[in-house]
Copies of this chain bind each other. A is one copy, B any other.
Amino acid sequence: AGAAAVLERAELRERTATANSMARLLRPKVVAVVGASREQGSVGSRIFQHILENNFTGTVYPVNNQAVSVHGVRAYPGVGQLPEPPDLVVVAVPAEGVVPVAEEAVRAGAKGLIVVASGFAETGEAGAALQGRLVDVARANGARLVGPNCLGLLNTDPAISLNASLAAAMPPAGRIGFFSHSAALGIVILQYAGERGLGFSTFVSAGNRADVSGTDVLEYWEEDPATDIAMLYLEAFGNPRRFGRVARRVSGRKPVLCVKGARSRAGSTAAGAHIGAAPVGDVEVDALFHQAGVIRVDTLEELFDAALLLAHQPLPGGNRVAILSNSGGVVTITADACDGYGLHVSTAGLVDLGPQAGAEDYRAAVQRALEDPRIDAVIAIFLCVGECDPELVSRGIRRGVVGAERSTGVAKPVLLSMMGATGVVKFAFEGKGALAGRTTAFPSYRFPEAAARALAHAVAYADYRREPPGRLVWYEDTDPARARAVIEAAVKEVPPGGGPHRLTPEQAGEILDCFGVHVASRPPRQNGGAPLDLSVRQHHVFGPVVVLGRAGQPAVVRITPLTDQDVRGMLKEVEVPPEGGEVELLCRLSQLIEELPWLAELEAAFVAAADGAPAALGADLVVAVTRPA
């Protein structure tokens, strides 16, 4: 408990510090653009213009030693000559000129820097060195740096209204925060999302992520009242353990949607070439996202489809869906899709309203389905054949939703597919009576299959949210100091940084004993099924990874540290009842891994509790340690 409390306090401090530093970047009062020239097309000129055009509520200064004014605004020859200290400086000069400008900016008091130029770590060693110098300048002065090799940032909050980016049009204001590694992709996503009716609170294009990373931005959104949904396009992780910790916290309150690019070998090669980052294993990314409650989507389209639902509808209470349509064929393909995505469709949930169905039929059917306690969500599809009025039908659906919410007091998600229309179907808010703002917009999908997929993501996320939050269990009856002494004695002769050194069974047993992990004296007996194997391996990016599984079957992979919920989930997946001794064994093992960073490898049979004997590791275990260089 003591150690856990210390960790929690440290986390809170870190979170507050990050959020404050990010707020200075995203909510500045005074902005300077260095490199804003009179030339129309230049990067600096465009960013300066975007800030002006989008009615920034603070003050923006162009910095240019060749011109008296830029776009009609008085220019200053250097950041040092500005009439007031800037909060944020946009450095829009070529790579070789960036460091001196950054130095001048932080001297002038800037706490935020945006560096647009490419020519840094993505180009090779010399660029990486230059990027290192840039980061040093920022960190030595407590400033945060976005980029280099990025397109800037946006904040649609009317109190700020800042478009310090190369995106020509400010996206519609809304409740989604969006972070993108890829610069160009980020801008195009903003554009398309706007067309589909998604509104944004903030957008950060982080490019090389020399300083500000997705995790920093996530930590800012955690407490940002303007952001309800976090959307990330990631290609690599700087610090996956920190990402996991933060994402777990955030996703307990707000959905975190993530496209992880560079999944494949080919994709990684491409990413390596343009961001200079090492690819990571996809299994580990899956584990990380799963443990942190992050909604992983495979494609951009899927990202929008899911965001549209989460932004406009409540979370479903379960996976039982009703499908309503005026076409039996559409009910069929939608049922196929729902089934394929793991949703439950009962016969009662298949509602073919017939080709003549109109607004009132939809109203009645939607209301009936939503009032049914065995239904958690409704997908309503309308095909317009010949003469018809989709808007009339939408309004009928809405009346059904309002009616059901009034009679039951429960809000359930409703997804539309007007077969042709995509985006959101919006309604003017109709005064008193309508339960909530949410009934004023329904996500609509061109094809019902996309609706089914989006709903499946929302169901999985809602499941995660219903589970009690995972806790890191910290046992006090342990003796990490003695365990460390055993390891140090064992590796005395091993040169620092050498390959893993394998401990004797006695040494291994003693270490485990320090953490209350039993080693079986009897041969491992299993209650049916093949024996369970447990292993811990060091991953070069993710750190210690725990793998539990039976020979010949897919194993469950998890990143440490493991919460009690992680452990229960692992046991469930390998069909061991997630109770008592087995949970404790794995939680203690996770604590051991945290406390003994020299542990390089562990391999053992996993022996469930039986006949009064506690859960234990098999007797013929392998434990290896590495002495850090």
Of residues 227 through 258 on chain A, the ones whose CB sits less than 8 Å from some CB of chain B are 233, 235
Which residues of chain B are within 8 angstroms of A340 by Cβ–Cβ distance? 263-264, 298
Closest to A187 in B: B385
Of residues 366 through 399 on chain A, the ones whose CB sits less than 8 Å from some CB of chain B are 383-387
Which residues of chain B are within 8 angstroms of A383 by Cβ–Cβ distance? 184-185, 187-188
Of residues 254 through 311 on chain A, the ones whose CB sits less than 8 Å from some CB of chain B are 259, 261-271, 273-275, 298-301
Residue A556 at the chain B interface, CB threshold 8 Å: no
Report the Cα distance A262→B333, complex, angstroms. 6
* Contact between chains at A262 and B336 (CB < 8 Å): yes
* Contact between chains at A267 and B335 (CB < 8 Å): yes
Q: Identify which of A25-33, A175-183, A483-491 touches chain B.
A: A175-183
* Contact between chains at B192 and A385 (CB < 8 Å): no
Closest to A50 in B: B386
Which residues of chain B are within 8 angstroms of A261 by Cβ–Cβ distance? 329, 332-333, 336
Question: Would you give the shortest CB distance from A537 to chain B, in whole angstroms?
Answer: 25
Q: In the complex, which of the residues B267, B301, B329, B339 contacts A265, with contact meaning CB atoms closer than 8 Å?
A: B339
* Contact between chains at A329 and B235 (CB < 8 Å): yes
Residue A434 at the chain B interface, CB threshold 8 Å: no
Q: Give per-residue flags for A165-195: 1 if the beta carbon is below 8 A from chain B beta carbons, else 0.
A: 0111000000000001111111110011000
Report the Cα distance A449→B301, complex, angstroms. 9
Closest to A263 in B: B336
10 contacting pairs across A/B (C-beta < 8 A):
A166-B386, A183-B355, A184-B385, A185-B333, A185-B383, A235-B329, A265-B339, A266-B336, A267-B339, A270-B350
Report the Cα distance A336→B264, complex, angstroms. 5
Of residues 404 through 430 on chain A, the ones whose CB sits less than 8 Å from some CB of chain B are 419-420
Which residues of chain B are within 8 angstroms of A301 by Cβ–Cβ distance? 446-447, 449-450
Residue A541 at the chain B interface, CB threshold 8 Å: no
* Contact between chains at B328 and A271 (CB < 8 Å): yes
Report the Cα distance A447→B300, complex, angstroms. 7
Residue A609 at the chain B interface, CB threshold 8 Å: no
Question: Would you give the shortest CB distance from A246 to chain B, in whole angstroms?
Answer: 23
* Contact between chains at B339 and A264 (CB < 8 Å): yes
* Contact between chains at A269 and B235 (CB < 8 Å): no
What is the count of identical protomers in the complex? Answer: 2
Chain A residues near B (Cβ < 8 Å): 41, 46, 118, 122, 151, 166-168, 180-188, 191-192, 233, 235, 259, 261-271, 273-275, 298-301, 323, 326-333, 335-340, 345, 347, 349-350, 352, 355, 383-387, 419-420, 446-447, 449-450
Q: In the complex, which of the residues B180, B265, B274, B352 contacts A328, with contact meaning CB atoms closer than 8 Å?
A: B274
Which residues of chain B are within 8 angstroms of A46 by Cβ–Cβ distance? 386
Closest to A344 in B: B266
Report the Cα distance A271→B323, complex, angstroms. 13
* Contact between chains at B446 and A337 (CB < 8 Å): no
* Contact between chains at A266 and B350 (CB < 8 Å): yes
Which residues of chain B are within 8 angstroms of A446 by Cβ–Cβ distance? 192, 301
* Contact between chains at B187 and A332 (CB < 8 Å): no
Report the Cα distance A269→B323, complex, angstroms. 12
Q: A182-B328, A299-B449, A386-B168 are in contact. Are A352 and B188 (CB under 8 A)?
A: no
Report the Cα distance A233→B338, complex, angstroms. 18
* Contact between chains at B352 and A191 (CB < 8 Å): no
* Contact between chains at A328 and B419 (CB < 8 Å): no
User: 6 additional contacts, CB 8 Å, given A185-B329, A266-B349, A267-B336?
Assistant: A183-B327, A184-B355, A259-B333, A270-B328, A270-B331, A299-B337
Which residues of chain B are within 8 angstroms of A449 by Cβ–Cβ distance? 298-301
Which residues of chain B are within 8 angstroms of A298 by Cβ–Cβ distance? 340, 449
Question: Would you give the shortest CB distance from A101 to chain B, in whole angstroms?
Answer: 21
Which residues of chain B are within 8 angstroms of A192 by Cβ–Cβ distance? 419-420, 446
Q: In the complex, which of the residues B188, B323, B329 contacts A384, with contact meaning CB atoms closer than 8 Å?
A: B188
Report the Cα distance A298→B301, complex, angstroms. 16
Closest to A329 in B: B182
Interface centre among A166, A187, A264, A347 (most CB of B within 10 A): A264
* Contact between chains at B182 and A335 (CB < 8 Å): no
Q: A420-B188, A450-B301 are in contact. Are A335 and B151 (CB under 8 A)?
A: no
* Contact between chains at A329 and B274 (CB < 8 Å): yes
Which residues of chain B are within 8 angstroms of A420 by Cβ–Cβ distance? 188, 191-192
Q: In the complex, which of the residues B182, B330, B347 contacts A269, with contact meaning CB atoms closer than 8 Å?
A: B347
Which residues of chain B are within 8 angstroms of A419 by Cβ–Cβ distance? 188, 192
* Contact between chains at A274 and B168 (CB < 8 Å): no
Which residues of chain B are within 8 angstroms of A183 by Cβ–Cβ distance? 327, 329, 355, 385
* Contact between chains at A185 and B330 (CB < 8 Å): yes
Question: Would you give the shortest CB distance from A302 to chain B, in whole angstroms?
Answer: 9
Question: Would you give the shortest CB distance from A333 to chain B, in whole angstroms?
Answer: 5
Q: In the complex, which of the residues B271, B323, B335 contacts A332, with contact meaning CB atoms closer than 8 Å?
A: B271
Question: Would you give the shortest CB distance from A261 to chain B, in whole angstroms?
Answer: 5
Question: Would you give the shortest CB distance from A339 to chain B, in whole angstroms?
Answer: 3
Listed from nearest, the 5 A-B pairs whose CB atoms lie closest are: A182-B329, A274-B328, A264-B339, A184-B327, A267-B336
Question: Would you give the shortest CB distance from A491 to chain B, in whole angstroms?
Answer: 40
Report the Cα distance A151→B338, complex, angstroms. 27
Closest to A195 in B: B420
Closest to A330 in B: B185
Report the Cα distance A446→B267, complex, angstroms. 19
Report the Cα distance A264→B333, complex, angstroms. 9
Which residues of chain B are within 8 angstroms of A187 by Cβ–Cβ distance? 383, 385-386
Question: Would you give the shortest CB distance from A208 to chain B, in whole angstroms?
Answer: 11
Q: A181-B329, A182-B330 are in contact. Are A335 and B188 (CB under 8 A)?
A: no
* Contact between chains at A335 and B269 (CB < 8 Å): yes
Report the Cα distance A136→B6, complex, angstroms. 85
Which residues of chain B are within 8 angstroms of A122 by Cβ–Cβ distance? 328
Report the Cα distance A301→B183, complex, angstroms. 28
Question: Would you give the shortest CB distance from A392 to chain B, in whole angstroms?
Answer: 15
Q: In the complex, which of the residues B188, B262, B335, B447 contacts A264, with contact meaning CB atoms closer than 8 Å?
A: B335
